[in-house]
Structure 1
């Protein structure tokens, strides 16, 4: 059991690193957009927001695939399709319960659920920061501190 839980902690570390890399790259791209196409983001905040949300789905798909590969390679589930489905349901904390792990593996699934909770919370916080930046930026020439 200690080995499985250690692997689960390793998977959490890898998924957090993946998320951090994607978020860092995305924020760098957003900064470049603001520098090189100064008014694009101000004029098209919905396009930027939708692009940002779709972009943040990619590391989540990678994270789910890593967990699915672990379940499949460890023979916790018989097919990769079942592993992917189980991983998606667990990572998103939907937890339908139509596919379950054996008693030997169920503790690992709780780590994946916590991992998903952390990643989704982090992604949501970053989405909100970007949305605030796009939609609530001070208009040029306006002073926010005046009544």
Structure 2
């Protein structure tokens, strides 16, 4: 298999990839814009049927991205909540020699919250590929009480 990045995402959220050259692939639900700027890249959704039609839960959709022959470097990933619930972000990368690396990130998302990740991809060695979650913390020193504003959780946590 040639070098590629394949992503499967199951969640009440959308995902938006930005490659090292600034090109985007995925969907921004805030502005209702779907991007397809990465050459050869594909973004698509698949419906997951409800095996229990008598229950009131709605069908969920999984989102998928495939990028053939990606460039090495940092890919910025935004997970943008369209509802609240658990998610699984599964990333499978292949390098130019066909070696692969599978990365799974699980978590919880809230509606209208954006979580950010960095995928550092290497076309030379899949083993060097790393995924990191970016967490923004706003500390208010000198406030009474001292607190941390956890923007991803929409709450303030008191500290000493």
Answer 1 or 2: higher relative contact order, Cα 8 Å, separation at least 6.
1
* TM beyond 0.5: no
- TM bucket normalised to smaller: under 0.3
TM-score, length basis structure 1: 0.23
Structure whose alpha-carbon radius of gyration is higher: 1
Task: Point out the structure with the larger strand share.
Answer: 2
